[in-house]
Amino acid sequence: MAAWVRKRLTPHPLQTYLGKLLLQHPLANGLPATYIACSSPLYPNTASSRELARNLPGWSYLEIPTGHDAMLLMPDELTRMLDSID
């Protein structure tokens, strides 16, 4: 799996951390939304996003105890979690 992933890795664009995002509409456009946090480890740079998702009206907050690549590390659990979202 590591070799498969290594072939597909690309650097994360730095501007996504530095650029300002201007939204024309509220997050999720007023539709129900679910935030899934990969919690092992919980990265400090995503703390504000997790907190926002926990507190937004109409949003659900879920955690999966794995690293950022949940679709590779815990595919069955992630699939069940996604299937459970209304």
Buried b (16+ CB within 10 A) or exposed e, 27-56: eeeeeeeebbbbeeeeeeeeeeebeebeee
Res 35: pLDDT:
96
Give residue-wise pLDDT tens across range 22-68. 888 888 888 899 999 999 999 998 999 999 999 999 999 999 999 98
Give residue limits of the domains in the chain: 31-86
Res 42: pLDDT:
92
| Separation of alpha carbons 51 and 81, rounded Å | 20
* Residue appearing with tokens 């994360």: 12
The pTM (predicted TM-score) of the whole model is 0.79
Give residue-wise pLDDT tens across range 61-81. 999 999 989 999 999 999 999
Res 76: pLDDT:
98
